[in-house]
Copies of this chain bind each other. A is one copy, B any other.
Amino acid sequence: MKNINVLLLAAGDSERFWPFKDKNFTALFGKTLISYSIDQLARFGLQNFVIVGNKNNLPYFENLIKQYPQLIISVVEQKDPRGMAGAVLSARNEIKGKPLIIHSPTDVFEDSLISGFTRIKDADFDAMLAGTDVSEYFPGAYLTVKDGFITNIIEKPGPDKVPGSTVNFVFDYFKSTDKLIHALTAVKSGKDDLYEKALLEMIKNNQKIKLLHYKGYWGFLKYPWQVLNISSYFLSQIKSPKIKNAAVDLTASIIGNVVIEDGARILEYAKIVGPTYIGRGTIVGNFSVVRESMVGASCVVGMGTEVARSYVGDGTWFHNNYVGDSVIGDNVSMGAGTVLANYRLDEKTVISRVGKEMINTDRTKLGAIIGNNVRIGVNASVMPGIKIGRNSVVGPGVVLDNDLPDDSFCKFPENRYTVKKNILDIKKIKRHNTVISK
């Protein structure tokens, strides 16, 4: 493995991932996906990495690699815009001369994929693509296979024309990087599909591309609500409760596989149901419930809040809120009484706008998707599947039923209520006990 270069594809613009900026930095248990990728591959002995980034995330990668003095990692900007092919070609100088693994850090898989890869002793192939079986139509590349070798690659065939159930995800291996580069440069047309065209050309030229048939968990990020899928997978990996140096009140209930990090505080009458992760220094307040959720560091889940099946970044504050099936960024805060509705009144699957398209999320339960640095006032309501852009503000009492762009301020117009003379003589009203009967 020491001889293999790993090309990590991290130059995508994450446009469909809005209101979040860069999929590669999605943090699970406080660690980003790009770090998980490097760590996972390094555990199997891979030592040489090339990260292909874009001009926005390059500085972060340059900073990141300082954490890996034991590895050889270089960072390259993708200047050739032609999708995956462009990424490979942008890094051609860094990767040439050695075998190559191409991987996208936002494709999440189990270690069994790599151990399967390492177990292959068979020398008689030129390249290998990972494939996994899907039970429903997936809008990606389908592979047709004969005797373990790929015979065709069909991009988004449509639900009616799928050639089988095996789809490709980004973990590709090439014995000769030079042959790959040669194939890529030989293709004359194409842009985003140039890479697939080159592979098809290789197949046509009798190069043997093996299928690495993978049967474990595969998660991926394209839309922001898919963070919930990946987060659920990570949570399911918690195999036993683990309460570190945290203060859990005696009256609190901790049920199931819950990880509570250092400095967290679980106050009186709070309830946490696993699998759940509570980050460093986070406070879960009185009469609050957190269930099946990942909550980052330095959050305050203030009194009377329910966080269910959600992902919450760092430094986010709740107070008497309902947060169900939602993805919330860093440094968000919500006023008391604000609710993120997670269920349509017609109980159909939730639709969410992405660019100009309305995308069916295929989720019956989906709350809000809220970018970093958002402030929401008291008693607001956010409708299922609504996205709120970074650095935006939602005023008190607003019922938000459209996506709110970055850097926006949305509120009710002034003077919505009328003021008249009160004709009640309140002092004379004898009150009846309505609140406490016993």
Contact = CB atoms under 8 A, between A and B. Distances in A.
Interface in A387-423: 391-393, 395-401, 404-405, 407-414, 416-423
A46 B424 CA distance: 46
A234 interface: no
A426 B393 CA distance: 9
Contacts of A437: 273, 291-292, 308-309
B426 A375 contact: yes
A279 interface: no
B273 A438 contact: yes
How many monomers of this protein are in the complex? Answer: 3
A405 B391 CA distance: 35
Contacts of A381: 337, 377-379, 396-397
- Size bracket of the A interface: 35 or more
A373 B267 CA distance: 35
Interface in A284-321: 285-287, 289, 291-292, 300, 302-304, 306, 308-309, 317, 319-320
A335 B341 contact: yes
A422 B438 contact: no
A176 to B, nearest CB: 47
A269 to B, nearest CB: 6
A341 B336 CA distance: 8
Interface stretch (A107-115, A124-132, A161-169, A428-436): A428-436
21 contacts: A255-B438, A289-B303, A292-B437, A300-B435, A306-B336, A308-B434, A319-B322, A319-B435, A336-B339, A337-B339, A346-B429, A347-B431, A365-B432, A373-B426, A374-B426, A377-B381, A383-B396, A391-B427, A398-B416, A407-B421, A409-B424
